[in-house]
Amino acid sequence: MLTRTVRLTGVCVFAAALSAGGCNGSHADQSARGQGSGARAGGGGVGGEFETTRDPPIANETRRAAGELAESRGAYAQAAEQYKYLLRKNPGDLRAMYRLGVVYAQMKNYPEAIATWKNYVRATNDSAAAYGDLAFCYELANKPQDAEANYLKAIAKDPRHVPSRVNYGLMLVRQGREAEARPQLEAVLKPAEVHYNVGAAYEALGRKEQAKIEYAKALETDPSMADAQARLAALRATAPATSPAKTQPAAAEAGVSQTELAPH
C-alpha cells in the first residue's frame, strides 16, 4: 500500500486502507457442493459423476481475498487480475475499484491508475476522498497541475478532509511554496504536527538544517512528541561539526515561513 507518513494517528495515502475481507464464499461453495451431491445421487452412470464433480465457481469474496493476499505479497499483477474480474462481474464494486487503483499505482501504471481513480470519483458521487486519491495519483505520475486541481476539488467538497489537506500541503512544501503550504496543514493538524510534517518534508528533500529547525519547533510546542525527538537527535548525531558562525544562516532561516505528517 502506498503511504505517506504523517505525524498523526495515521492518515492513509489513498482514501481508506481496506483490510482483507477474508473468504466469505463458504456458503456459496457449500451450496454448489450440495447441489452436486444431489445430482450424483440421482444421476447415476459415469457421465453424471464427471459432470457433477467439477470444481464449483470461485466465489467473489474468495477472489477478493486472493487479490488482497497477492497484493500483500507484492504480486500486483495477480492482484489486479482478481480485482478486474470482480469489476467485470459488478462494475459498481467500490472496494475492488479502490484496490485496483492502488495496485495500478504500485505498479507505476499511471494511465490505468488515473483512469481507475476517475471511475472511483464518479462511482462515489464526487466524494472528497476520491478526489484526494485521484490527486495523489496525479502527483505520483508527476502531473503537479492536475494534482493541485484535484486536491482543491477535494477540499472544496470537504474542507476538513485531512488526507487531502495534508498531502496537498506537503506537495506545496516540496515545490518551494511553503507559505501556501502552512495554512493547508494548519487547517487540520495541531501546531506541533504542522512543524513535524514540514520538517519531515524538508528532511526528505535533504534540507537538514531546516528540518532540524522544524523538529525543534515541534518539540517547543509539544515536548512529548517522541517522533520529533528521535528525528532531531538522529540529524544532530549525523551533522558535521560546524563553528557557531556557520550555524547563523540556518537560525536565520527559522524566520522564513516554513513548516510534514499517517493510512485512509
Average pLDDT over residues 139-151: 98
User: pLDDT tier at 14 (50, 70, 90 boundaries)?
Assistant: low
Residues 6+ apart with CB under 8 A from 117: 101, 130, 133, 134, 137
User: pLDDT tier at 107 (50, 70, 90 boundaries)?
Assistant: very high
User: pLDDT tier at 1 (50, 70, 90 boundaries)?
Assistant: very low
Picking from 20-24, 93-97, 171-175, which range would have the lowest pLDDT averaged per residue?
20-24
**Grid coordinates of 128:** 472528497
Q: Which CATH architecture has domain 1-21+58-158?
A: Alpha Horseshoe (1.25)
Q: What is the pLDDT of residue 239?
A: 65
Give SS3 for 74: coil
Picking from 8-12, 26-30, 174-178, 216-220, which range would have the lowest pLDDT averaged per residue?
26-30
Q: What is the pLDDT of residue 45?
A: 38
Is the pLDDT at 19 greater than 50? The verdict is no
Is the pLDDT at 127 greater than 50? The verdict is yes
**pLDDT tens digits, residue range 33-59?**
333 333 333 333 334 444 444 445 568
- CA-CA distance, 38 to 51, in Å (whole number)? 12
Residue whose grid cell is 464449483: 56
As a whole-number percent, the residues of the chain with pLDDT over 90 amount to: 67
Indicate where the chain has its CATH 1.25.40.10 domain(s).
Answer: 1-21+58-158
User: pLDDT tier at 238 (50, 70, 90 boundaries)?
Assistant: confident
User: pLDDT tier at 82 (50, 70, 90 boundaries)?
Assistant: very high
**Grid coordinates of 49:** 459423476
Higher pLDDT, 7 or 143: 143
Q: What is the pTM of this model?
A: 0.71
Burial class (CB in 10 A: 0-12, 13-18, 19+), 177: middle
Average pLDDT over residues 156-167: 97
- CA-CA distance, 119 to 99, in Å (whole number)? 13
Chain-wide mean pLDDT for the chain? 78
User: pLDDT tier at 62 (50, 70, 90 boundaries)?
Assistant: very high
Is the pLDDT at 207 greater than 60? The verdict is yes
- CA-CA distance, 13 to 203, in Å (whole number)? 19
Q: Up-side HSE of residue 28: CA atoms within 13 Å toward CB? A: 12
In CATH terms, the fold of domain 187-239+247-264 is 1.25.40
Q: What is the pLDDT of residue 110?
A: 98
- CA-CA distance, 119 to 134, in Å (whole number)? 10
Average pLDDT over residues 181-197: 97
